[in-house]
């Protein structure tokens, strides 16, 4: 199984578009109601543009979202504090079965002739169910993951209507994968010792 790189590929798969679901739920209609001289062709054009905007948002990287969720895990934060105390140190942390929730609420403002007609509210929810995960923490950052198993519940709603959802979809995490970059685990906590010099990294 190939790991889907983006939320879009996980939720929609290849070749599927959002135009149909948006039209089926009449999502744009109420927002366009005040526009005089509307035609079905114009409505379809607006729906197509809105689908494109929402589709761009679905380009979020699935593994990045999962890694971001680990920032709040207690065991990883504890390891991060210990490695912060000893720059250059590294810990390997095995995590029990756990859940990561990732929720996003972007919006799209709609204007006609310079006048705002309304706002299209979008909500993306992902729940990762993970087990058998081994993480590497170095200098208060998550730097690597040896993956176990993962399944995902995901849904996309627009104006409160669920357009597409997938429950329990398997996410084939690579046996060992490198993150795009270190994920800070204590970004919300000030370093009690102030700025430190990490071995091999210049501060100039």
Please tell me the distance from the alpha carbon of residue 111 to that of residue 117, in angstroms, as a whole number.
6
pLDDT of residue 204: 37
pLDDT per residue over 61-83, tens digit each? Answer: 887 888 777 777 889 999 999 99
pTM of the model: 0.72
Residue 33: pLDDT over 90: no
Q: Which of 86-100, 121-135, 162-176 has the lowest mean pLDDT?
A: 162-176
Please tell me the distance from the alpha carbon of residue 78 to that of residue 85, in angstroms, as a whole number.
11
Please tell me the distance from the alpha carbon of residue 185 to that of residue 143, in angstroms, as a whole number.
10
More confident residue, 5 or 193: 5
More confident residue, 115 or 142: 142
- Burial class for 50, CB neighbours closer than 10 Å (0-12, 13-18, 19+): buried
């Amino acid at each position: 199984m190939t790991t889907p790189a983006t939320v879009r590929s996980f939720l929609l798969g290849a070749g599927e578009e959002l135009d149909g679901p948006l039209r089926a739920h009449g999502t744009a209609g109420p927002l366009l109601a005040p526009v005089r001289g509307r035609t079905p062709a114009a409505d379809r054009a607006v729906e197509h543009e809105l689908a494109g905007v929402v589709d761009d948002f679905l380009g979020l990287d699935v593994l990045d979202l999962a890694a971001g969720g680990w920032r709040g895990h207690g065991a990883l934060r504890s390891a991060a504090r210990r490695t912060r105390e000893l720059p250059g140190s590294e810990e390997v942390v095995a995590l029990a079965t756990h859940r990561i929730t990732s929720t996003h609420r972007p919006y799209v403002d709609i204007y006609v002739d310079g006048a705002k007609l309304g706002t299209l509210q979008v909500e993306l929810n992902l729940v990762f169910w993970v087990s058998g995960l081994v993480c590497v923490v170095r200098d208060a950052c998550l730097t690597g993951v040896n993956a176990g198993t993962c399944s995902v519940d995901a849904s996309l709603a627009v104006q409160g209507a669920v357009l597409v959802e997938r429950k329990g979809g398997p996410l084939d995490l690579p046996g060992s994968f490198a993150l795009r970059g270190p994920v800070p685990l204590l970004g919300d906590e000030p370093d009690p010792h102030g700025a430190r010099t990490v071995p091999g990294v210049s501060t100039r």
